[in-house]
Amino acid sequence: MKDPLSHGNDTDHKKAAHKPAIPGSGGLLYPQQNLLRNVLDISGLWQFQLDPKEEGEAQAWFNALPSPRMIPVPCSWNDLFDDARDYLGLAWYRHEGYAPSSWRGQRVFLRVGSANYAAKVWVNGIAAAEHFGGHLPFVVEITDQLLWDRQNIIAISVENKQLPERVPPGPAAAGAGAFGSLPPFPATTYDFFPYAGLHRPVLLYSVPAGAHIDDISVVTTLDGEDGVVKVAVSAGGYAGKGKLLLNDCQAELNFRAGSAEAILRVPSARFWCPKDPYLYLLTVTLTDEDQTIDAYSLDIGIRTIAVCGDELLLNGQQIKLTGFGKHEDFPLSGRGQNLPMWVRDYELLKWIGANSYRTSHYPYAEEAMMLADRLGVLVINEIPAVGLNFGDGEAMTARRLAQCRQQLHELILRDKNHPSTIIWSVANEPVTGSAPDISTQEAIAAGTSFFRQLYDDAHRLDGTRPVTLVGLQGGPAEWLGLFDIVSINRYYGWYTMPGQLERARQELERELDALHKSLAKPVIMTEFGADTLPGAHNTPPEMWTEEYQVELLRHYLDAVANRPFVVGMHVWAFADFKTGQNVIRAAAMNFKGVFTRDRRPKMAAHFLRSLWMKSDGKAMD
């Protein structure tokens, strides 16, 4: 099968110059400006052109686009141009600019925050990197390709084809989709719009030409009132000295083969939690005698997260998650990074009394994680493995597993130091599939092997956080039992038993008790809700009205009130979001939000606030 990243034929010299994007041995530290490092955000207005015939590479569009228009970076292209609303094929971005002359003599890298879905990068006509899979950053060193006496041309081709071998997988055949015989347009296996483009900032950054800090891993534990901070640092092949500084605490680093570890004890530490999201500033330096040759600082929170019996424990204390599943989705910017949206969303989470959310169904922007750290919001961090099925045979399953393992590796590499991230999620709503030559039991067995490997990978890469899988209603319980926490999406009273809320509650209670009896693990309800047209009202409550949404949420919350093994309730969804066109998606929207797409509260938002907030304006314990 043709490599989905291959958009055309390279010349021999361009193939020779091609480099894989980091990660590999490298890290994904967020670029930082300090006395020894530099950052230049080259986001802004770029040239842009669709390439439906995929002729751009053969015609050297990486040097000049024949008929460009301007596009903002970051942004999705679909909501900006009428001819590109449903276009998911190949498109080109092009930028010209100078590299700062003061960077000469340093190592220079290009960092793409998210290119959804497959991307290829050229620097001054030379193929520099490829990356497969959206929502996570990739990095390539471009020192040797840079020009210092003229403007540099950076070109990035991006496409978001919905192909069955990808993760998330596209429809296996024409007409297939997220709704069986009623597929959306554009056709997907998931229920949100397949936005395409450069969705997060594009950065140039430089590090010292010699040794530099490549990666930092921080693990915190509690010892009575003290915090214990274990720090591992990677610095290529460096074999010298370094230091750690955390407030008044210091430790020496002795590097061997580019790696060093040290432990800091923080007396009477402030433990990070939603009520007190205190962040300590950790600074790592590489030193040559008395000279600092590189430095990097990051905010860390001293906290622990664990599962014990039926409980989820933060800093050894039981915690219940209240919040939402949500999407990075907003008018015009689509899935592109939108910092005003994020600031407003966190303000609304605080207003409603929520303490958490899930990054459904892909990793969110790094800046969103930074805000969550600072504001004390708990995050279930999910890879883009939505729409998986195990009815397509061993070869397809193996290809998807390789991509999921890459996505999980990149996500943990990026977000392992964020105290806000408390749980890793490796998939949302996987199904067995319906291939005629694969039995249900064979598909369940294939999925069991698949998810066991992802579970093991997650704990190998990060042994400090629980791991979960989010199960579909009617999905195999065997898969749920592999994980530390049982996470389920349920829509009794909406997709099943529509309009029958008392019956829906009884069935939910029966299933919760059965799951807990068979699996004996804590449960998080990661989705439950009802589509609600803003301004639609009726009494008695009817489906699609604001009253019905309130009553459905009330029934679900009442059902778990006396079931302490349910450690989290995440309403679907935080805000209305765009979908493909479909007969069950009025106005190409999912209306299950308790806020509208432009963040106006529905009745359900006020209802939840009445439950989650005290009269003094503070969130419930």
Active site residues: 429, 527
**How far from the centroid of its chain's Cα atoms is residue 419's Cα?**
15
> In sequence order, which residues have a C-beta less than 8 Å from that of residue 494 and are 6 or more positions away?
529, 530, 531, 543, 552
Closest CA to 159 of 353, 321, 3, 280: 3
Cβ atoms within 10 Å of 460's Cβ, excluding its own: 10
Question: Please, are residues 486 and 312 in contact by the beta-carbon 8 Å criterion?
Answer: no
CA distance 508 to 486: 15
Query: Residue 586 pairs with which residues in a beta bridge?
Result: none
The span from the CA of 456 to the CA of 15, in Å, is: 36
In degrees, rounded to 5, the angle at the alpha carbon of residue 579 between the alpha carbons of residues 578 and 583 is: 125
Instruction: Scan for tokens 């069955």, then name that residue.
Output: 164
Q: What is the 3-state secondary structure (H, E, C) of 217-246?
A: EEEEEEECCEEEEEEEEECCCCCCEEEEEE
User: CA 605 to CA 313: how far, in whole Å?
Assistant: 27
Helix, strand, coil shares, percent, the chain, to 5: 20, 30, 45
Q: Tell me: cis bond preceding 331? Omega within 30 of 0 counts.
A: no
What distances in angstroms separate CA 287 from CA 106, 232, 235, 238, one per listed residue?
A: 17, 16, 12, 11
SS3 402: helix
* Residues in CB range of 580: below 8 A, 6 or more apart: 177, 178, 184, 185, 186, 187, 188, 193, 194, 588
DSSP of 147-182: -SSS-EEEEEEEE----TTSSSPPPSSTT--TTTTS
Instruction: Find all residues with CB under 8 Å of 445, minimum gap 6, and list them.
Output: none
Instruction: Dump the DSSP string for 67-131.
Output: S-EEEEESS-STTT-GGGTT--S-EEEEEEEPPPGGGTTSEEEEEES-EESEEEEEETTEEEEEE
Is 527 strand, coil or helix? strand
Separation between Cα atoms, residue 11 and residue 161, nearest integer Å: 24
Rg (alpha carbons) of the chain, rounded to whole number: 25
568/585 Cα distance (integer angstroms): 28
Q: Tell me the β-bridge partners of 45.
A: 72
Question: Please, which contacts does 438-447 make with residues 24 or more away whose CB atoms are closer than 8 Å?
Answer: 438/390, 438/391, 438/392, 438/393, 443/389, 443/390, 443/391, 444/390, 444/476, 444/478, 444/479, 446/390, 446/394, 446/397, 447/388, 447/390, 447/476, 447/478, 447/479
Give the whole-angstrom CA distance, residue 93 versus residue 45: 10
198 token code pair: 């450069």
Q: Which amino acid is at 430?
A: P
User: Helix H segments across 474-545?
Assistant: 477-480, 501-519
